[in-house]
A = this chain, B = another copy of it.
Amino acid sequence: MDLEAVRTFVAVAEAGQFQEAAAELAVTQQAVSKRIAALERNLGVRLFSRTARGAELTIDGQAFLPHARELLRAAERAGASVRPGRRPLRVDVLTSRSAQSGLMRGFHRAHPDIELDVLMLFDIETAVAAIRSGAIDASFRAVAAPGRPLPEDIESVRVLDEPLQLLTGPAHALAGARSVTLAQLTGHRIWMPGIVPGTEWTAYYDDLVAEFGLTIEATGPNFGSDALLDTIADTPALATFMGEHTRLIWPADHGLRRIPVTDPTPVYPHSLLWHRDNPHPALATLRAHLAATTAGHDAAGTWAPRWVIPR
């Protein structure tokens, strides 16, 4: 399947004849004829019925035409995604199922005309470097880890405090609780596999441990959320933290429990980071959207590390 042949097909379908399409594409009529013939040979069907005064689509050609247009649009979008200058707004999020993705989906619904690329970088160091180099336009992160202030050319604003909930199996001691306090969790083992040392997650949970005396185990590789859920469901002595807005594939027969945490509720702070001088027009739109949709949250009764930037 050759994109140039598909482009030629669409041109002929619109022009109604080979010659006019050839003129538009700046090739000879014979070249168009060969391209269409090659496309028809590849697909195994006849796309045009040739007449003495042009070419008209067969039924197969009519069915193929919208797919051909969509294919060309996809190629155009793919090219635009990396075109320097006027490329889509590029935003880095933590994970594809996080509350941040929810914010971006809301932004996309509010501004469906704004081209958007969402990606997931490794850590905040990479993200900041990418923002400074102009490779990405914005990043959702928890900033800043203590002792590591953001560079002067990076601006940030706190956009979302995501309450953490306790996730336990059915045999866990707290499985029946309607809610638990942070003090009640002292002595219980909280398992957070996959927390990579040096990322902003580490600093957050370090502070949580220091202030409330929790036992958080970050050991072990991250085998994915399925393995995590399996283990939590089967191990009475283990629980884990999970963002309130996190949506998982929820195995029905695991009997997992989500339990709100109170007095105070630990919240994971999400901030938007961007470069002071970034001229992308959609960036201003995104900031305005986030400011409008995330305003008015109440910080009373919640806990976050002292080093996070204030709201």
Measured CB to CB, the closest approach of chain B to A54, in angstroms, equals 16
A56-64, A203-211, A217-225: which lies at the interface:
A56-64
Chain A, 72-103, CB within 8 A of any chain B CB: 74-75, 77-79, 81-84, 87-88, 90
Report whether B77 and A45 are in contact in the complex, using a CB–CB cutoff of 8 Å. no
Measured CB to CB, the closest approach of chain B to A120, in angstroms, equals 8
| Contact A84 to B44, CB < 8 A, known contacts A78-B68, A78-B71 | yes
Report whether B3 and A135 are in contact in the complex, using a CB–CB cutoff of 8 Å. no
Report whether A119 and B59 are in contact in the complex, using a CB–CB cutoff of 8 Å. yes
Please report the C-alpha to C-alpha distance between residue A130 and residue B47 in the assembled complex, in whole angstroms: 15
Please report the C-alpha to C-alpha distance between residue A81 and residue B75 in the assembled complex, in whole angstroms: 18
Q: Cβ of A295: which chain B residues have Cβ within 8 Å of it? A: none
| Contact A63 to B79, CB < 8 A, known contacts A1-B3, A70-B74 | no
Q: Cβ of A130: which chain B residues have Cβ within 8 Å of it? A: 59
Please report the C-alpha to C-alpha distance between residue A6 and residue B74 in the assembled complex, in whole angstroms: 12
Please report the C-alpha to C-alpha distance between residue A62 and residue B120 in the assembled complex, in whole angstroms: 9
Report whether B45 and A63 are in contact in the complex, using a CB–CB cutoff of 8 Å. no
Nearest 9 pairs of A and B residues by beta carbon = A67-B78, A59-B135, A74-B74, A71-B74, A63-B117, A62-B119, A45-B82, A67-B81, A60-B82
Report whether B121 and A82 are in contact in the complex, using a CB–CB cutoff of 8 Å. no
Q: Closest residue to A77 on the B side, CB-wise?
A: B67
Measured CB to CB, the closest approach of chain B to A85, in angstroms, equals 10
Please report the C-alpha to C-alpha distance between residue A6 and residue B82 in the assembled complex, in whole angstroms: 14
Q: Is A43 an interface residue (CB 8 A)?
A: yes
Report whether B6 and A63 are in contact in the complex, using a CB–CB cutoff of 8 Å. no
Measured CB to CB, the closest approach of chain B to A84, in angstroms, equals 6
Report whether B59 and A81 are in contact in the complex, using a CB–CB cutoff of 8 Å. no
Measured CB to CB, the closest approach of chain B to A63, in angstroms, equals 5
Report whether A119 and B63 are in contact in the complex, using a CB–CB cutoff of 8 Å. yes
Q: Cβ of A136: which chain B residues have Cβ within 8 Å of it? A: 59
A to B CB contacts below 8 Å, 29 in the list: A1-B3, A1-B75, A1-B79, A2-B3, A6-B78, A43-B82, A43-B83, A44-B82, A44-B83, A47-B82, A58-B135, A59-B90, A59-B119, A59-B136, A60-B82, A63-B81, A63-B88, A63-B117, A63-B119, A64-B78, A64-B81, A64-B82, A67-B77, A67-B78, A67-B81, A68-B78, A71-B74, A71-B78, A74-B74
